[in-house]
Amino acid sequence: MEQSKKKQKKYLISAKVDGFFIRIFDGWKFFLRFFAEVFKPPYEWGEIVKQSYQVGYRSLGLISLTGFITGLVFTKQSRPSLSDFGAASWLPSLVAIAIIRALAPLVTALICAGKVGSNIGAELGSMKVTEQIDAMEVSATNPFKFLVVSRVMATTLMLPLLTFYSGFVGLMGSYLDVHNHEQTSFTTFFENALSGITFLDIGATVVKALCYGFTIGIVSCYKGYTASQGTEGVGRAANASVVLSMFLIFVEEIIIVQITNYIR
């Protein structure tokens, strides 16, 4: 009896390990298929524009609020420490460096992963379990290009725009706090803020945003496109889209920061 339980336990562990590597292989094939399809005509420009609008529209309000609060709170939290050293005048530059280099791309990506990623995972998952994707294949339409390529391109293109918008809104929140305490003018604040920003910082932020946008799109589409087991599978696809996207975003953040610091 005990031997039977041990064998069953080993079998379950082996099955989980096998399943893990099978999912990695399937994800890699999905990744390669995207690059095989993205450069192959016909191009779904209309769907890409539509999805880009949806990505921006769904995230804009929350990104505006979060970016503004981030800049305001970070300024308030940094002021006492700088004031202790008599360096309150460095506050605009410190806030700008923190927002442009790290906070704007990371906060924007996390919001989009939760807002857009879950929506894509649930939408494609619902289409998969209700066999709408199969129906598109029967009607001589390429569902992968129409559904997946367009959404991945939309998230990849929109994340940099949303990131810089979030950074600007965050700096506006910081400006209001600085102006309230030191009566600093708008021009003076932004001159001091942008004095510490280099082209390398801007370039690294763009690369981060592109990587984060692509990650959110490809992960969410993969989870939704391969969903199964009815409505329960749709829920799992939406949840997995958010969790895995956020995990990969943090991994990419570490890698890009290390490369940027090495170049710097």
CA distance 249 to 258: 14
How many CB atoms neighbour CB 232 within 10 A? 11
Written as one letter, the residue type at 166 is S
Looking at every residue in the chain, the average pLDDT score rounds to 87
Would the pLDDT of 30 be above 60?
Answer: yes
Please give the radius of gyration of the chain, using alpha carbons only, rounded to the nearest integer: 22
Global pTM reads 0.90
Would the pLDDT of 8 be above 90?
Answer: no
* 104, containing H or E segment: helix 104-112
How confident is the model over 143-188, as pLDDT tens digits? 888 899 999 999 999 999 999 999 999 999 999 988 888 888 888 8
Structure tokens at 161: 């725009």
CA dihedral angle for residue 255, residue 256, residue 261, residue 264, rounded to 10 degrees: 150
Domain ranges within the chain, ordered by starting residue: 41-263
